[in-house]
Amino acid sequence: MLFRWTLLLTTCLMLSSCGTSEPKTHQFLGKYQVTCPASWSIRKDLNDQADFQAGNLFREAYMIILTEPASEFPRGVGLSDFADLIEANLAANIKNAKISPHLETQVNGMDAIHFTMRGKVEGTDVIYWIHAIKSPDDYHQVLQWSLASRFQSNRDDFRSAIHSFRTIGRSPQRAGVNDPTLDQGDPALMPKGEPILGPKGG
pLDDT attached to residue 200 = 41
Which residue from 156, 100, 150, 110 is spatially nearest to 130, judged by alpha carbons? 100
Q: Topology of domain 22-175, per CATH?
A: Protein Transport Mog1p; Chain A (3.40.1000)
Per DSSP (E only), the strands in 14-102 are 24-28, 32-36, 41-42, 52-56, 61-69, 95-99
Tell me: the pLDDT tens digits for 58-97?
999 999 999 999 999 998 899 999 999 999 999 999 998 9
Beta-carbon contacts of residue 65 (< 8 Å; ≥ 6 apart)? 28, 32, 34, 50, 51, 52, 53, 140, 141, 142, 143, 165
Q: Is the pTM of this model over 0.85?
A: no
Which residue from 108, 107, 158, 112 is spatially nearest to 132, judged by alpha carbons? 112
Q: Rounded to an integer, what is the distance from CA 34 to the centroid of its chain?
A: 12
